[in-house]
Amino acid sequence: MKTKEIHLKLIETSDIHGNFFPYNFVTDQPAEGSLARVCALLEKMRAKWGERLIYIDNGDILQGQPTAYYYNFVDTQSEHVAASMLNYLRCDVGNLGNHDIEGGHEVYDRWIRQCDFPVLGANVIDTSTGQPYLKPYVMLERAGVRIAVFGMITPAIPMWLPETLWSGLRFEDMEECAARWVSFIREKERPDILIGVFHAGKESVRQVDFYNEDATMDIARDVPGFDAILIGHDHRRFCGTVTNVEGQPVWIVNPANNGVMVGDIDIRLSKLGDRVVRKRVTARLVRTGYYGVSHDFMERFRPAYDAVKDYVSQRIGTMAETLSTEPAYFGPSAFVDFIHGLQLDITRADISFCAPLSYDAVIRAGDIHMRDMFNLYRYENMLYTMRLTGREVKDYLEYSYALWTNQMHSPADHIMLLTPIDASGRRLGFQNFAFNFDSAAGIRYTVDVTRPQGEKIHILSMADGRPFEPQADYRVAINSYRANGGGELLTIGAGIPREELSARILDVTSHDLRYYLMDYIGRSGTVCPRPLGLWKFVPEEWAAPAIERDRRLLFGRAR
């Protein structure tokens, strides 16, 4: 019997985040990446590979650019454009991402129904049946090769999203789920190739004691059978191998976000009858920009492009002065305090917590359009009111400021907690994510940058001059991501057990925060946000010059 040589190609996208067109609807500028460029790449590759090409999308497609928001919440009668586009691209397999769940059951269930391909999620469990809510895996056959594609999602959803968005579901630990299903797949299906599709990052990140957010490397090493694992979630490009417990190499591929890159996996097999006698898998990342933009794709989806552009071009009101998130790292800022003020007004809370959700967002003075709202508030977070003690408020802020401020030992030290100097002699930015850098309104306080965590925050009084009492209970306005444990400011910082968080919730808004911001600006006509001036870094003789030095490092400019 003669050996048959087979050569297959697998393409992965991940974390598209609504970046469907080569245009950023928020900045009103051309954009890198996009499904339009992925389509051009697939068109050229299919001309060579035909049915030997497999295309997989790895989730987080339903949130980000206004294109996703528009078809999630505005035009809910048409087929969701994310389903239409992936169907047009002849997607073979999809996977569910954490940001896809952010829209709630109505959004992701509708999208899944409209997709002409299976959307996977082995560790998304239907609590009414105890069975997977989505397909755990799918078997594909190409040129006589049996390919098993097994999908999972990061299980930390309950840390970030309110239960109303994932009601009736639970999320199983990835490694436990993989061990069980891979054993089943290998025994029942006997695939020639096993591909994992994980909406999770590479390195293990344990969220409190409950969730291993990014278990990919643990699974690649400890659950034998995978030939390649396609990942995403953390927006960090990676392409390399790990050796598993059986001594076999497993490729790990992460093309990061927005369709700027795709994962390109090359599979070569030699089969003697039904038996694989040789197998070689290699992988690389490919930039979609080399392939241009698909003309046919743009023409097919021109009505969607026009509808979204019209939507984001609607005028809402006027901003009297330019707003930027940059000042928020160095003291009270008009940008963040504008959100603080709205949160306090909506909830009638005593205290508000809020962070800059975009690292360096700017809203120019003048007319405010719908597109600007995605810059002003990046995520579809609901607004919660919670009960915290004064001591928990202080500990929360201690943890928050320790994420972004250094402990200075001399006036020459950095005031910000920056990444180490890299090989080129540069610092790349903050050590931690800026969307976890919460400040407070409703209280007056100082942040002593010469002190360690636990001793930085000195709360002077309530904003109106009343005493602040560590033992008193306060109503606190906070977004849904944070209220559910996101960033661990409540759990590790304030020391509230995760299972107690739901009991602390006093109220939840019926709409997301962006809705209330749009409504407020629309009713006001012209808004002129100002910093509230409720906190500052001390000692000022150290802080002021250090701020100017670090501002130049981070943003290339002084005030």
Three-state secondary structure of 511-534? EEHHHHHHHHHHHHCEECCCCCCC
Query: CA gyration radius for the chain?
Result: 25
* Residue 44, domain CATH: 3.60.21.10
Number of domains in the chain: 2
Cα three-residue angle 270-275-276, rounded to 5 degrees: 35
Check whether 436 has a pLDDT greater than 70: yes
Question: What's the pLDDT band for 195 if we cut at 50, 70, 90?
Answer: very high
Average pLDDT, the chain: 94
Max Cα-Cα span within the chain: 89
Percentage with pLDDT > 70 across the chain: 97
pTM of the model: 0.89
Q: How confident is the model at residue 449 (pLDDT cuts 50, 70, 90)?
A: very high
Residues 304 and 319 in one domain: no
> Domain containing 63: what range?
4-309
Co-location of 547 and 480 in the same domain: yes
Same domain, 53 and 158: yes
Could you tell me if 242 and 355 lie in one domain? no
Which one has a higher pLDDT value, 148 or 510? 148
Give the range among 21-25, 181-185, 480-484 with minimum mean pLDDT: 480-484
Does 332 lie in the same domain as 287? no
- pLDDT value, residue 360: 87
Q: Are residues 328 and 208 in the same domain?
A: no
In a shared domain, residues 451 and 370: yes
Is 449 in contact with 415 (CB distance < 8 Å)?
Answer: yes
How many angstroms separate the CA atoms of 394 and 371, rounded?
36
CATH of the domain at 512: 3.90.780.10
Answer yes or no: do 329 and 414 share one domain: yes
pLDDT of residue 351: 98
Higher pLDDT, 185 or 510: 185
Q: What is the pLDDT of residue 205?
A: 62
Using the predicted structure, report yes or no on whether residue 493 has a pLDDT greater than 60.
yes
Q: pLDDT by residue (tens digit) across 335-384?
A: 999 999 999 999 999 999 999 988 888 999 999 999 999 988 888 899 99
Share of the chain above pLDDT 90, in %: 87
The answer to whether residues 254 and 287 belong to one domain is yes
Report the run of H or E that residue 198 belongs to, with start and end.
strand 193-199
The per-residue pLDDT for 424 is 63
What is the per-residue pLDDT across 57-72, written as a single tens digit (0 to 9) for each? 999 999 999 999 999 9
DSSP letters for 311-353? HHT-EEEEESS-EESGGGGTS--HHHHHHHHHHHHHH--SEEE
Specify whether 353 is located in the same domain as 425: yes
| pLDDT at residue number 129 | 96
User: Residue 159's pLDDT band (boundaries 50, 70, 90)?
Assistant: confident
278, 309, 340 - which closes a domain? 309
CB 227 within 8 A of CB 195: yes
The one-letter amino acid code at 445 reads Y
Confidence of residue 559 (pLDDT cuts 50, 70, 90): low
Residue 209 has pLDDT above 60, yes or no: no
Using CA atoms, how far residue 85 sits from 36, 333, 531, in Å, is 9, 40, 43
Identify which of 105, 176, 165 has the alpha carbon closest to the alpha carbon of residue 134. 105
Tokens standing for residue 14: 């991940």
Question: Strands 23-24 and 29-30: what pairing?
Answer: antiparallel
Distance CA 475, CA 557 (A): 38
